Structure formats: C-alpha cells, structure tokens
C-alpha cells in the first residue's frame, strides 16, 4: 500500500485522537470496490473494540457482502464535530475525521459475534440494555458480524474546538 503524507501536516492528529474520533462517531462509511472496479461506499453503524471496527449485516445477500467476500480490502471513514464557519477571512469548516484502511473478515466465533452485538447495542441503545439478550436471540440467525482489522488509522482535524 502506498503511503501518502498529509498535505497540511498540522491537521494530522495523534493515533489516540483518531481512536477518540472513532469512539465518538455515530456511523462510518465503509468503501469497497466491486468486481467491475466501481467504488461503493455505504454508511454503517459500528463499534470500536480492541482497536478494530465491528459492524453487523444481514447474512443473506447484498452488494457490500459480495464485495466483502470477493476482496477484503476496505476503508472506513468517520467524521465528528462538523461545523461550517467563517474564520480568518474565508469560509471553511471545523471537523475531526478518522480514516481506517485494512481488511474485513466475517467473524466466525460465536462469543466474538455476541460480544460485538452487545457492544453495538450498548453504543446505540444503552437505555434498553435489559432487552439486548432477547433482541440478539431473535435476530442472530439472520445476522453476520464483520470486523475490520486496521492496517492504518489516520486522524485529521481542522479548527476543531478542543473539548474541555
């Protein structure tokens, strides 16, 4: 994989901040390339666990599933704190972003599948934690979990307001 230097070097974040952006982000866009070489990006809910991104899908059929199975190379991007602004005499935006490149694989171990599904539920619906077990049991036969194992994680931020 060719490494590219960030054009505006002072916008590159630390790995820790990039991981923080991934923790904070509501969703990511996972991009693949299909069999004809056409790009395909799809927004997905995800959870970061142990430095890896986990997503859930149906286990039946679909374009992203075909792409995941055919070529495991993917990228995922997440963005937070997007704010248009007028600053220093020009129109611009504030944001924090993280780009993950790596390979995606279907999770085979039942315990890892269930752990990821619980983590996803707790990220998005923690107020319903008492219903997670039943929800997983009712849907697990039709669900797959996939994990992106990063080869690279790069964060970028511009004019992002520091959190206090």
Show the DSSP H helices in the chain as ranges.
Answer: 15-24, 63-70, 110-124, 132-139
| CA pair distance 13, 35, nearest whole angstrom | 34
Give residue 132's domain range: 9-156
Q: What is the pLDDT of residue 142?
A: 94
Cβ pair 145, 106 in contact under 8 A: yes
**Residue 2 lies inside a defined structural domain of this protein:** no
The count of other CB atoms within 10 Å of the CB of residue 143 is 14
Mean pLDDT for 140-162 is 87
Domain count within the chain: 1
**Residue 74 lies inside a defined structural domain of this protein:** yes
**Residue 162 lies inside a defined structural domain of this protein:** no
Cβ pair 154, 99 in contact under 8 A: yes
pLDDT at 160 over 80: no
The count of other CB atoms within 10 Å of the CB of residue 113 is 20
Instruction: Kindly indicate the confidence band of residue 95, based on its pLDDT and cuts at 50, 70 and 90.
Output: confident
CATH number of the structural domain spanning residue 28: 2.30.110.10
Look up residue 36 and give its two tokens: 């004809």
**Residue 95 lies inside a defined structural domain of this protein:** yes
**Residue 53 lies inside a defined structural domain of this protein:** yes
Q: Model confidence over 57-90: pLDDT tens digits?
A: 999 989 999 999 999 999 999 999 888 888 778 7
Residue by residue, DSSP assigns 21-55 as: HHHH-S-EEEEEE-TTS-EEEEEE--EEETTEEEE
**Residue 1 lies inside a defined structural domain of this protein:** no
Q: What is the pLDDT of residue 13?
A: 84
Q: Please provide the average confidence, as pLDDT, over all residues in the chain.
A: 89
| CA pair distance 8, 70, nearest whole angstrom | 35
Backbone angles phi, psi at 118, to 5 degrees: -60, -45
Q: What is the pLDDT of residue 31?
A: 97
pLDDT at 109 over 60: yes
**Residue 164 lies inside a defined structural domain of this protein:** no
């Amino acid at each position: 994989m060719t490494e590219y230097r960030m054009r505006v070097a002072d916008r590159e974040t630390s790995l820790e901040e990039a991981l923080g952006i991934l923790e904070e982000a509501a969703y990511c866009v996972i991009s693949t390339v299909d069999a004809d070489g056409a790009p395909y990006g799809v927004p997905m809910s995800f959870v970061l666990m142990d430095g890896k991104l986990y997503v859930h899908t149906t286990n039946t059929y679909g374009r992203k599933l075909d792409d995941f199975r055919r070529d495991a190379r993917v990228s995922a991007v997440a963005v937070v704190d997007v704010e248009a602004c007028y600053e220093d005499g020009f129109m611009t935006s504030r944001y924090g972003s993280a780009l993950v490149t790596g390979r995606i694989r279907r999770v085979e171990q039942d315990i890892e599948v269930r752990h990821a599904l619980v983590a996803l539920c707790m990220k998005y619906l923690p107020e319903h934690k008492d219903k997670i077990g039943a929800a997983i049991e009712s849907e697990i036969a039709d669900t797959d979990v996939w994990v992106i194992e990063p080869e690279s994680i790069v964060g970028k931020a511009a004019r992002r307001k520091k959190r206090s």
